[in-house]
Chain A
Amino acid sequence: MTNHSTRRRSGTRLVALLAIGALAVAACGGSTPSTGGPVTLNALFMKQAAYSEADVKKMSDAFTAANPNITVKAEYVGYDALHDKIVTDQVGGSGSYDIVLMDTPWPAEFVKAGIVTDITDKIPADFKSGVFDSAWTAAAYQGKYYGVPWINDSKFFFFNKKMLADAGITTAPKTWDDVVAAATAIKAKGTVKFPIVASWKQAEAVICDWTQLAGVMGGATFIDDQGKATFNTGGGLAALTFMKKLLDDGLVNPASLGFGEDDVNNTMSAGQAAMALNWTYGYAVMNDPAQSKVSGQVEVVASPGKGSVATSGVNGGMSMAVTKSSKHPDEALKFALWMASQKSQEMDTTLAFPMWKASFEDTAVTKANPAFFAAAKVQFAGLVARPVVPYYTKLSNALQVAIQTALQGKSTPEQALNDVAAKLADLQK
């Protein structure tokens, strides 16, 4: 009897405990879209080129100081992991990020997959008029906006002034023919074995360089309006043929086929190469006495041209997109607009240029590095974009392999690109 009632009582207690537990869990979830209450935003950033973690923290600290009810939790991943992390997080169902970085070719995929939110009506007018046109590529798809432009970047041409001077070259190369001439002279002099180093590993990096070269060698429209391949003719083919020739002539380091952007910085910094293409941040890294043997010797100019085209650069812009899974889309957008504001972007221009046209006219801003600002202003006016199509990542993967196959001499540039063109229909499925 006693035994029985004790058991029943403990049973009741257990139910009560479970109920309390459930309530506590529900309270912790706190998923009700709140207005005014404390809000935590989870943001996914990139740990590579452009703004450093310290830069992001500085901008976001200013934001939280102005908006004390919003806390921002930032996470950083390497660029090559960024796309897949966003996809797994959003499609896997957990959807833990309110705001993610979106690269130039991704809006099509992300819009189709329902990952990012349409913010067309919420973008302030001063953004539309004040920001470089090219910066919007990373935010737009089919006439609508899904992100706030945040990073404005392209690959610039870096060269070791001393090595060029030692080989008798005193003016900065303006065309790729100048680059070949300079590289040949440096190689003949024996200063370094391979005068040029490049980030041509099987990753997005090689596509960026190839696009940039195609931009001055016949154009970088890779897919026409009917969805047909054009990358295997014109600029795309000319660029790949040029890359292969640089390798064959021993002007580019063959290790470049395994190198990313950081390896390019390291090789230049070690004084093992004289010339390279890299993102804006390369300038600060290669000229940092703490990590570079050649600091003070590396100069930067707009990317070289070819024939009638003076310069061209790959569009390396990125935008901040509010995810569909976000419980606080308004706060997330507010944060993105803050991070992209002219004031935030002008805080520190060492690693990334502002995307505001006015910043380039303001000597208080450009005085940080007038020559680089001048070069960037020219290059930003003529950026070429990688194709913004829903099957971009598949296309990019196939092109990376084709380019590397040709560069390794296992196929001709023409054949390698034709192979991708032949299976384009399958990639578009």
Chain B
Amino acid sequence: MSGAVPGRTPRLRTKPWPETWVAAAFVAPAALVILLVVLVPLLRALWMSLFDISLVRPGVEPFVGLRNYIEQLTSGDFWGATGRALFFTVTSTALELSLGLGLALLMDQPLRFRWLLRSIVILPWALPTIVNALMWRWIDNAEYGALNAVLTQTGLLHDYQPWLSNSDLAMWMVVLADVWKMTPFVAILLLAALQSVDRELIQVAMVDGASSRQAFRLILLPLITPVIMIVLILRTMEAFKVFDIVWIMTGGGPANATQTVAIYAYQTAYQGFDFGRGAALGYIIAVVIMALAAIYLRLLGRTGR
């Protein structure tokens, strides 16, 4: 419309910046912020992890090399906490995935009140973790909690159980609270995956004589596997470094039965004033999570093909 000659762009008076420069200029402010708030503390923590830094000994911070790491990797306390974090990760992720898949399949069906079901299901996830943890602490309370009331009144249980005060039960109660909150998140992601599957594929398979179970196992499941893998990565990483829900519900007790590795690191740094060891612990947790993510991503690359 402007009457420019087709095929020839109008010449600019000054030479434009190369495109990569422009891109860099746009990204620069954000990159600078990330550098300051992420990279600097990250490097500082790495530096700190090589020193014996105790706040109650200001000024005396000898270089100890990898001693903080070696001490942790050879300490029973560390492995105990890591074992508990892994237990929490495996049980909560497995339960969330299986329940989430069930819920997603249900919400995918052409039910009459599907919209209502979907809105209700999302509610637990909408609660802040702190609120969820406080709520479950009340529900699990041994003397005036709803769980004991429901179970004894329905005759499923004879006596009140001290759910959070028993070291064999406490971790399961924390897992339950986490599953209640995070299953909707898993369900919604899987529902989205299910909805992107071409229905005709299923119909064709059924016409060819596949049972609905076969159609699910051989067609639907492989198609949504990439999303399952992503959910697994997200949940595993989150679960391994779990802190808040445990801290509010049990504070790591009773007798350290729910002390996960993140709580152990927090206690070491902020309660034990031992920032060198605390920083080393932080790095060990980060490495474990990165290793988990790498394994999953490799698997994902394989399944995504």
Chain A positions within 8 Å of B, measured between CB atoms, are 80, 83-84, 87-88, 91, 108-109, 112-114, 197, 201-203, 253-259, 263, 266-267, 270, 272, 390-391, 393-394, 397, 400-401, 404-405, 407-408, 410, 429
Contact = CB atoms under 8 A, between A and B. Distances in A.
Contact of A88 (B57, B143, B270): B270
Nearest to B267: A397
Contacts of A393: 271-273
Contacts of B56: 108-109, 112-113, 390-391
B253 A87 contact: no
B129 interface: no
B165 interface: yes
B166 interface: yes
Given A87-B270, A255-B165, A112 B254 contact: no
Given A113-B58, A390-B56, A397-B267, 8 more contacts: A109-B56, A202-B250, A202-B253, A202-B256, A203-B251, A255-B165, A393-B272, A404-B256
A85 to B, nearest CB: 9
Interface in B28-75: 54-58
Contacts of B250: 202, 258
A258 B173 CA distance: 13
Nearest to A266: B144
B167 to A, nearest CB: 5
A108 B56 CA distance: 9
A408 B254 contact: yes
Interface in B159-175: 160, 162-167, 170
B185 to A, nearest CB: 28
B144 A404 contact: no
A83 B55 CA distance: 14
B255 interface: yes
Contacts of B142: 253-255, 258-259
A88 B275 CA distance: 12
Nearest to A259: B165
Contact of A256 (B160, B163, B165): B165
A202 B255 contact: yes
Interface string B104-138: 00000000000000000000000000000000000
B282 interface: no
Interface in B253-282: 253-256, 267, 270-274
Interface of B: 54-58, 141-144, 160, 162-167, 170, 250-256, 267, 270-274
B162 A254 contact: yes
Nearest to A273: B143
A361 B253 CA distance: 43
Contacts, number: 106
A202 B143 CA distance: 18
A410 to B, nearest CB: 7
Among the interface residues B56, B167, B170, which one has the most CB atoms of the partner chain A within 10 A? B56
Nearest to B169: A258
B270 A109 contact: no
B249 to A, nearest CB: 9
Nearest to A92: B270
Contacts of A256: 165
A233 B273 CA distance: 28
Nearest to B268: A394
Interface centre among A254, A257, A400 (most CB of B within 10 A): A257
A412 to B, nearest CB: 14
Contacts of B144: 266-267, 270
A394 B253 CA distance: 15
The interface centre, meaning the residue of B141, B160, B166, B273 with most chain A CB atoms within 10 A of its CB, is B273
Contacts of B165: 201, 254-259
Contact of A400 (B55, B164, B167, B253): B253
Contacts of B251: 80, 201-203
B253 A254 contact: no
A410 B270 contact: no
A202 B55 contact: no
B53 to A, nearest CB: 11
Contacts of B166: 254, 257, 408
Given A87-B270, A394-B272, A255 B167 contact: no
User: Which residue among B166, B170, B253, B255 has the maximum number of chain A CB atoms within 10 Å of its CB?
Assistant: B255
10 contacts: A112-B57, A202-B255, A203-B251, A255-B162, A257-B166, A258-B250, A258-B253, A263-B143, A390-B56, A405-B256
Contacts of A197: 143
Contacts of B274: 394
A6 to B, nearest CB: 16
A186 B251 CA distance: 32
A151 B160 CA distance: 37
Contacts of A84: 270-271
Q: Closest 8 interchain pairs by CB?
A: A202-B253, A255-B142, A258-B165, A404-B255, A255-B162, A112-B56, A257-B165, A258-B164
Contact of A255 (B58, B143, B253, B273): B143
A283 to B, nearest CB: 20
Contacts of B57: 112
Contacts of B253: 201-203, 257-258, 400-401, 404
Contacts of A394: 271-274
A428 B273 CA distance: 11
A259 B142 CA distance: 9
Given A258-B253, A408-B254, A113 B273 contact: yes
B273 A87 contact: yes
